[in-house]
Structure 1
Amino acid sequence: MALSSLAAGQLEAGQARGASADPTPLPEDESPNQGPPAVLSEMAAFYQELHTPTQGQTVIRQLMHKLLVFSAREVDHRGGCLILRDTGISLLIPPGAVAVGRQERVSLILVWDLSDGPSLSRAQALVSPVVACGPHGASFLKPCTLTFKHCAQMPSHARTYSSNTNLLDAKDWKPLGKSGVHTSLDECRIQLSHFSLYTCVLEAPSVQEARKWLQLAVFCSPLAPGQTHLQLRVYFLNNTPCALQWALTNEQPHGGRLRGPCQLFDFTGARGDQCLKLKYISEGWENVDDSSCQVVPHLHIWHGKCPFRSFCFRRKAANENEDCSALTNEIIVTMHTFQDGLETKYMEILRFQASEEEAWAAPPPVSQPPPCNRLPPELFEQLKMLLEPNSITGNDWRRLASHLGLCGMKIRFLSCQRSPAAAILELFEEQNGSLQELHYLMTLMERLDCASAIQSYLGSPAPFPAWAPGRTRARSWSWT
């Protein structure tokens, strides 16, 4: 998933001319331009930056013509966890993986560059991001766990691949064996013996139809008073968090904002191209182009190239003397999307509505959202086992629920769940809670067993969260 100059250029050009930017996707046998060959000093600086600790932050940066999302930290015998914010990607180094008295620098890297993925046949589909663990070739006393999302409809069809190469070297992708690889409904978990590059490819048996889930994301710039043109862009993305983050990053330089929730689409590898048909435009607007239907080549979606198609609309006056700015301040658009030949069977309806008064048109806040620290699976299970048994004093999952602001009725509701402790931990995750905050809560509850388990993942003394006593609470917990 490359943030290619091609896509950006088309988007920019389309906005400049006030017409539809119909991108010409890259041919299937070509890769994005990689720039001139790197010299040794540039390569050394590249790897040095990737492995420099980021203080728990997720960094998005273009290095050596590659757009990368990465995080790095130092890990000792207590282990540690690296999480790439909002991508569903994490790397767990368990306690004891590093010898006592030693420290190792490790990095977790999401690669947004199509040229780094495996070469795929027409029968194969890319269903996950390309992830690199660094430094390349590093090994530990205990296996580390890499976790990332996939969008294959049948987990048994998702096959994990590895390229035992450096990030700047030519890739040599080969399938991994099943040992140490677990693929659930939407997640792939790999036990690593050493660090390299990893991804997931859909390979269905010849007698079965291969399918994957797409997410359709609609973007446009805010509708402003007096604006005569509006460009709407629909992205066809793998249904993974990092694919959506790529689209959000691609839209940032052009002011594009995500319009409404993404919609799921059942995409099959045995069918035709994807069609996007304009069905309705509200009164006062018209389509700039003559064509009301656009097509995305099947393989550009199947191979995970994140293509988009755009429509450009303009206000129309009732007559030549009427001022366009005095017309409707709202636009409503309906589109149908389907694979060629399946117009009536597999149809997704995209409805778009925007008005000048809506709050979404306001510029985004300058402050960044807090890091999304998804609990590592092993820690989640450990905390669940520790908090599940009911204690006489109530110092269990119920106390945590109380600290998160749940009332008695909601706590009683949770007690009817199959695993109340798992439910309250999932709520903590949904509210974007961090490991530091959870460590503080466990200390406040005097559940030192839980605090100790969390501390082993933090790798250093946990700072007090922003809402510790004596400070203003930074997050308001709510029941949804």
Structure 2
Amino acid sequence: ILSGRFVVARVERSGQGRQDNPLHPSAPPDLTATAGTFRGPLFSLPQGVNDSPHKIPMTDSLLLDPLPSLKIKVYNSSTLSSLELPADMSLSDGEILSLKSVGTVGRERDYHSHTMSREPGLSTSATLGNLGGRLTIPNTGVSLLVPPGTIPQGKFYEMYLIINKWEKTTLPSEGSQTVLSPVVSCGPSGMLLNRPVVLTLPHCAQLDTPTPDWTLALKTQTHQGAWEEVLTVGEETLSSPCYLQLEEECCHVLMEQLGTYGLVGQSCPPRPACKRLQLALFAPRAPCLSLDFSLRIYCIHDTPHALKEVLDLERSLGGVLLEHPKPLLFKDSYHNLRLSIHDIPHTYWRSKLLAKYQEIPFYHIWSGSQRPLHCTFSLERASLAVSQLACKICVRQVEGEGQIFQLHTDIQETLLPHSPLPSGSPCLPSSQVGPYAFRLPDSIRQKICASLDAPSARGCDWRLLARSLGFDRYLNYFATKPSPTGVLLDLWEACHQGDADLVSLATALEEMGKSEVLVVMTTDGDC
């Protein structure tokens, strides 16, 4: 028989053990210090009263001399960081390796860490200073223009641009509204801007009708996750914090507060509005080693980002795009989208679809709550020797428009995947810093502003330039800025980022009779 006894030990609670062992696993982390990494001279900060005595004082080293003129300015925001340098100390953008963010604790920080995750291909960042720059997420149509002078002299910010994934985002639409653009976050939020930046968002609203069919609104997301309306297009007032320039396939938002934004819309009675959609047909990559074969048709927004999202998904599934996506106008009529397959050679193939057609409910498409939407047609061939497939797939909105895919393919032949971008589309770099980001040289910009900022009795000033460029929907927004012409030129840069030659601007100035500015543009520019 085994016998034993229990020994009762008394454990005294004391904080001394933690103090003697700073690496104790139960000890709370030290949050009193934040480190920044720099390329250049090292520096040290004076030891605070709350610092642990076990920290090594860097100032004791003979190799590290403190720089008393260097200031670190930290804002209490989950995404904000800045570096402030004295005016007489030069430091280029490339000399900063990274600027660490200091986050708030609690629920607000948890929310940002969830929504601000940077996915490959859906985000970009760069350290920008007073010279400005441009952030672009390639192949998505999303960009952020930071004009020169936006960031105060001597400060540098690690700015970012992120497309939020749908499954991790609360949609900005409510009621009968529909989401028309990707939900995009730009930051750091809370940073002070000397002038507006320009956020470019692609949208899928059909706008070519003579009368307006849409009521469009720009929304922003609060730190708590709720959505608030920033402005309704066409209903701006002097208190509106933004200006939205609407084009057929994208919009440009002049804003002075960085954050998370999205464009929504709803039909403007009595006519129903239409969304531009794309239909993309995919099949398994050859060779097919099974008797089963499937065709997948996606119904997505007609924006570069939506197509890129589906292409990335199908690439991970081993799918290939069979032909270029087809456009479809989807009307706000409460009718579903109907898909059917026809003309299957029944001698060699059999459809597993029991019904005559499939449907995607109207609300799923209009609300955008489920992404990406698709239907699958499952087929079975008679034997492995069958390789040719010819059929027809019809996609149409009930009592609306439709498209037909005429399919002729060899499922054993390796097909070259179709390019996600139309031929000739420019692919801009993800970040451009300083003067290289702008088409208009700073010397020309300053002369144009000096010539047009002052009001003219004949009206030949910045207001006429706004009308010539098509930026005159709400002139009061520009009138409140210190340099209305400068903000107009920033918007012109954003609208022409892919093909920004100076001809359109020179033509507008010529029509205004500003010959003295044209001489400068001819001498200093590329006209």
TM-score by shorter chain over 0.5: yes
Q: Is the 8 A contact 1:116 1:130 kept in 2?
A: no
Which letter maps to 1:287?
S
Name the counterpart of 1:103.
Answer: 156
Q: Distance in 2 between matches of 1:49 and 1:357?
A: 53
Q: Distance in 2 between matches of 1:154 and 1:326?
A: 50
Against the structure 1 CA distance between its residues 150 and 192, is the aligned structure 2 distance closer, same or farther, given a 3 Å change threshold? same
Name the counterpart of 1:314.
Answer: 380
**Secondary structure of 1:290's match?**
coil
Is residue 177 of structure 2 the alignment partner of residue 118 of structure 1?
Answer: no
Q: Is the 8 A contact 2:80 2:188 kept in 1?
A: no
Give the C-alpha shift of residue 449 in structure 1.
5.2
Q: Deviations over 1:10-58 (max 9, x none)?
A: xxxxxxxxxxxxxxxxxxxxxxxxxxxxxxx9xx9x967999989xxxx
Name the counterpart of 1:352.
Answer: 407
Is residue 390 of structure 2 the alignment partner of residue 337 of structure 1?
Answer: no
Q: Is the 8 A contact 1:50 1:107 kept in 2?
A: no
Against the structure 1 CA distance between its residues 303 and 380, is the aligned structure 2 distance closer, same or farther, given a 3 Å change threshold? farther
Q: Is the 8 A contact 1:271 1:339 kept in 2?
A: no
TM norm structure 2: 0.55
* Percent identical residues: 23
Match of 1:74 among 106, 120, 127: 127
**Secondary structure of 1:217's match?**
strand
Q: Is the 8 A contact 2:221 2:259 kept in 1?
A: yes
Q: Distance in 1 between matches of 2:128 and 2:228?
A: 28
Q: Distance in 1 between matches of 2:134 and 2:215?
A: 25
Q: Distance in 1 between matches of 2:163 and 2:430?
A: 16
Name the counterpart of 2:216.
Answer: 159
Match of 2:251 among 188, 213, 220: 188
Which letter maps to 1:193?
E
Superposition pairs of residues 6-405 of structure 1, within 5 angstroms: 64=114, 68=119, 69-114=122-167, 115-121=169-175, 123-154=176-207, 157=214, 159-166=216-223, 169-177=224-232, 178=236, 180-224=243-287, 226-282=289-345, 284-304=348-368, 305=370, 306-316=372-382, 324-327=383-386, 329-342=387-400, 346-356=401-411, 358-360=413-415, 372-373=428-429, 382=440
Q: Distance in 2 between matches of 1:154 and 1:333?
A: 34
Q: Distance in 2 between matches of 1:75 and 1:380?
A: 14
Q: Distance in 1 between matches of 2:360 and 2:287?
A: 30
Which letter maps to 1:209?
P
Which letter maps to 1:285?
W
Q: Is the 8 A contact 2:126 2:160 kept in 1?
A: yes
Which stretch of structure 1 is more off in the superposition, 85-94 or 295-304?
295-304
Against the structure 1 CA distance between its residues 79 and 251, is the aligned structure 2 distance closer, same or farther, given a 3 Å change threshold? same
TM norm structure 1: 0.60
Q: Is the 8 A contact 2:321 2:417 kept in 1?
A: no
Q: Distance in 2 between matches of 1:143 and 1:448?
A: 29
Give the C-alpha shift of residue 380 in structure 1.
7.5
Give the C-alpha shift of residue 279 in structure 1.
1.5
Give the C-alpha shift of residue 130 in structure 1.
0.6
Q: Is the 8 A contact 1:86 1:242 kept in 2?
A: yes
Which letter maps to 1:201?
V
Name the counterpart of 1:443.
Answer: none
**Secondary structure of 1:194's match?**
coil
Q: Distance in 2 between matches of 1:87 and 1:110?
A: 9
Give the C-alpha shift of residue 340 in structure 1.
2.1
Give the C-alpha shift of residue 78 in structure 1.
0.7
Which letter maps to 2:174?
L
Give the C-alpha shift of residue 354 in structure 1.
2.4
Q: Distance in 2 between matches of 1:127 and 1:94?
A: 26
**Secondary structure of 2:245's match?**
strand
Q: Is the 8 A contact 2:128 2:159 kept in 1?
A: yes
Q: Distance in 1 between matches of 2:500 and 2:287?
A: 37
Q: Deviations over 1:177-216 (max 9, x none)?
A: 5451111111111001110111111222221211111100
Aligned residues: 327
Which letter maps to 2:315?
Q
Q: Is the 8 A contact 2:133 2:437 kept in 1?
A: no
Q: Deviations over 1:354-373 (max 9, x none)?
A: 21464426899xxxxx9644
Q: Is the 8 A contact 1:91 1:147 kept in 2?
A: yes
Give the C-alpha shift of residue 423 in structure 1.
11
Which letter maps to 2:330?
F
Superposition pairs of residues 391-430 of structure 1, within 5 angstroms: 426=499
Q: Distance in 2 between matches of 1:208 and 1:196?
A: 33
Q: Is the 8 A contact 1:236 1:307 kept in 2?
A: yes
Q: Deviations over 1:391-424 (max 9, x none)?
A: xxxxxxxxxxxxxxxxxxxxxxxxxxxxxxx999
Q: Distance in 2 between matches of 1:93 and 1:171?
A: 27
Larger Rg: 2
Q: Is the 8 A contact 2:351 2:379 kept in 1?
A: yes
Q: Distance in 1 between matches of 2:378 and 2:128?
A: 51
Which letter maps to 1:190?
V
Q: Is the 8 A contact 2:200 2:252 kept in 1?
A: yes
Q: Is the 8 A contact 2:180 2:265 kept in 1?
A: yes
Which letter maps to 2:126?
R
**Secondary structure of 2:315's match?**
helix
Name the counterpart of 2:43.
Answer: none
Name the counterpart of 1:455.
Answer: none
**Secondary structure of 2:190's match?**
coil
Which letter maps to 2:398?
D
Which letter maps to 2:188?
P
* Structure 1 vs Structure 2 CA RMSD: 4.0
